[in-house]
Chains A and B, each alone.
Chain A
Amino acid sequence: MFFAGFVVNAYISGAVIACLAAMVGFFTLLRGSAFAAHALPKVGFAGAAGAILIRADPIIGLAVFATGGALAMGWLGRRGRRDVAVALTLVVALGTGALFLVLQNGYASDAYSLLFGQTVGISSRQVFDTLVLGVAGIVSLLILYRPLLFASITPEGAQARGLPVDRVDTAFLVITGLATAVTVPVVGILLTFSLIVAPAAAAGHLTHRPLRSLATSAGIAVVTVWAALTMAFVTGLPIGFFVATISTLVYAGARLVEFLLRTRTDGGRQGVR
């Protein structure tokens, strides 16, 4: 069974998705935009439901709503409080999604499989799409790395140096939407957020160097997804549950390691990590 095509496909897409999600997570925590990262998968869910209603590919609906939602959050956020902007975007999208679901004939199993993630039956075509979009997201984040870091940490300073801070912010939201769109089909609506936040949070306790932290989160995420995939294949339970559980354990582990390192170095000189 382990050599079935879709299994290999799942591991390949899983790795790309994990890298992208974790890199998005690194900036998400730095910027304090966890709420947006949490909301976008749900916004995407509404899009998937809409796509199913008009008999289009749910993944396309997901991508359109997730990126559109990201833009809406950016637009509203510049005109009011950021958290309110996220909440309202989320709420409108979900209301529409509920309507889409009701308008369909009964139980839309496609939409529900997005809720929990889909690990079996991933086709080579899907893997290819995921690879292209995922790598595009990773590369754009690497290109945006310094301006995004600057705009996230000292926005006024970045603005004074002539950086288009608003545009950089929006670009990041759109990349978050894109990451959502590729992550959700595998990990599910409910747990995409885990994959974004948990590895980055754990890495934050292991190193304080930004690039190293970025790489560490990506590594943790890949291991998490592969382990979760394996357990999902073995048990037949939704992968999202395992992603969440493993993430929580890894986070706890990272804090333990930090604690142990600190108590060890507290005796002598403070260690430089």
Chain B
Amino acid sequence: MSGFGALWQDPQVTNALLVGTVVSALAGLVGVFVVMRGQAFAGHILTDVGAAGASGSLLAGVNAWYGFVSFGLLAGTGVEVFGNRARSRDAGTGIVLSFAMGLEALFLFLVTRYTNNAGATMLILFGSLFTADPSLTPVVVGVALFMVALLLFIYRPLLLCTVNPEIAQARGVRVRLIGVLFMLLMVLAVENASIVAGALLATALLIGPAAAAMRLTTRTSLALLLAAGIGVTVTGLGILLAYESYYWPPTGRGWPVGFFISALIFLIYLAVGFGRSSAGAGRSSAGAGHRPQKGA
């Protein structure tokens, strides 16, 4: 336990813990709705599109966060505008995604070749919380807190639209507007998480805690709390373990935060599932009452 003493004095670590907590709480909250609405794929797509933007901004010499967010917003708008009109969901999103990934490949390739920065790919795809630019912290934290407030503000109509869009429409809820606002929430949750865990692992923070929480309870409000709690815990533990791992073999390199986060999340998900099935709780799930969804 050689590392933990110095831990709290290290500004990099405290910064990482602050950013990590806020970002994973937001991702957990939004994730519950993402899972309920069957939008895990859409959420994941945003990470890839974001990565295209991030690599583009590295090419341009701007902080990756701006690339993540701007491309994410662009893609989110695209999915909202075209996704609803496109008659075939999977094909349409697939095409958008495949084009974005083409750009991602090109940008990453160019970054690696012209900036001679082989670490750039690693940075974008797998994240590096410890080297996060501290000047960005207020922006990330501010945006995340604002998004949590927005989620709480639209909580009830969002839930109604998610569970029963027809009834929501009949009651005069502006389903379309709620959809757009939720897409905005999802974009910012995902792109913020991308900074923490990297584009490839933001999906972990978005889907994992929510899926585990929804195996534990069928009450939405409780699921939200649990998801945020699991997300924060897992991220905190991941950061501490990653810090500690500098003393593990091969010494001096440190294991990636994303590895710890995803491994912990998966273990929790499995443990929760087995705990529940041995308790014989039947078929109930927090997804009850939602449209059965075929795709994955």
Contacts and interface: CB of A to CB of B under 8 A. Distances in A.
Tell whether A pairs with B: yes
B198 interface: yes
Contact of A201 (B95, B255, B269, B285): B95
B112 interface: yes
A73 B108 CA distance: 29
A204 B86 CA distance: 13
20 contacts: A31-B295, A32-B89, A32-B294, A32-B296, A34-B295, A35-B44, A35-B295, A38-B41, A80-B285, A81-B287, A86-B41, A87-B44, A91-B204, A92-B262, A99-B255, A190-B104, A201-B88, A237-B106, A241-B102, A244-B101
Interface stretch (B2-10, B207-215, B217-225): B207-215
Contact of B41 (A83, A101, A200): A83
A103 B44 contact: no
Contacts of A80: 211, 215, 273, 285
B192 interface: no
Interface in B240-260: 250, 253-256, 258-260
B80 to A, nearest CB: 18
A223 B122 CA distance: 33
B98 A248 contact: yes
Contacts of A103: 250, 253, 255
Contacts of B132: none
Given A35-B40, A83-B295, A103-B253, 10 more contacts: A79-B273, A84-B207, A87-B44, A94-B201, A103-B250, A116-B105, A194-B101, A197-B98, A238-B106, A248-B95
Interface of A: 28-29, 31-36, 38-39, 42, 73, 77, 79-88, 90-92, 94-96, 98-99, 101-103, 107, 112, 115-116, 188, 190-191, 193-194, 197-198, 200-201, 204, 237-238, 240-241, 243-245, 247-248, 251
Nearest to B44: A87
B109 A98 contact: no
Contacts of B259: 95-96, 98-99, 102
A156 to B, nearest CB: 12
Contacts of B253: 102-103
A115 B109 CA distance: 9
Nearest to B106: A241
A194 B295 contact: no
A84 to B, nearest CB: 5
Contact of A193 (B98, B109, B258, B260): B98
Contacts of B93: 34
A7 to B, nearest CB: 20
Contacts of B41: 34-35, 38, 83, 86
Q: In this complex, which of B105, B211, B261, B295 has the most chain A Cβ atoms within 10 angstroms of its Cβ? A: B105
